[in-house]
A and B are shown apart, each in its own frame.
Chain A
Amino acid sequence: NAGVMQNPRHLVRRRGQEARLRCSPVKGHSHVYWYRQLPEEGLKFMVYLQKENIIDESGMPKERFSAEFPKEGPSILRIQQVVRGDSAAYFCASSTGNTGELFFGEGSRLTVL
Chain B
Amino acid sequence: GQQLNQSPQSMFIQEGEDVSMNCTSSSIFNTWLWYKQDPGEGPVLLIALYKAGELTSNGRLTAQFGITRKDSFLNISASIPSDVGIYFCAGQLISNAGKSTFGDGTTLTVKP
Residues of A at the B interface (CB closer than 8 Å) are 4, 31, 33, 35, 40-45, 48, 55-56, 91, 93, 95, 97-107
Contacts and interface: CB of A to CB of B under 8 A. Distances in A.
Contact of B98 (A31, A41, A43): A31
B65 interface: no
A100 B98 CA distance: 4
Interface string B1-37: 0001010000000000000000000000001010100
Given A98-B96, A100-B48, A101-B48, A106 B42 contact: yes
Interface stretch (B55-63, B66-74, B77-85, B101-109): B101-109
Nearest to A55: B97
Given A105-B42, A106-B40, A106-B41, A99 B48 contact: yes
Interface of B: 4, 6, 31, 33, 35, 40-45, 48, 88, 90, 92, 94-105
B104 A102 contact: no
Nearest to B94: A100
A107 B43 CA distance: 10
B96 A104 contact: no
B42 A4 contact: yes
B43 A104 contact: yes
Contacts of B31: 100
Contacts of A99: 48, 95-96
A100 B92 contact: yes
A93 to B, nearest CB: 7
Contacts of B42: 4, 91, 93, 104-107
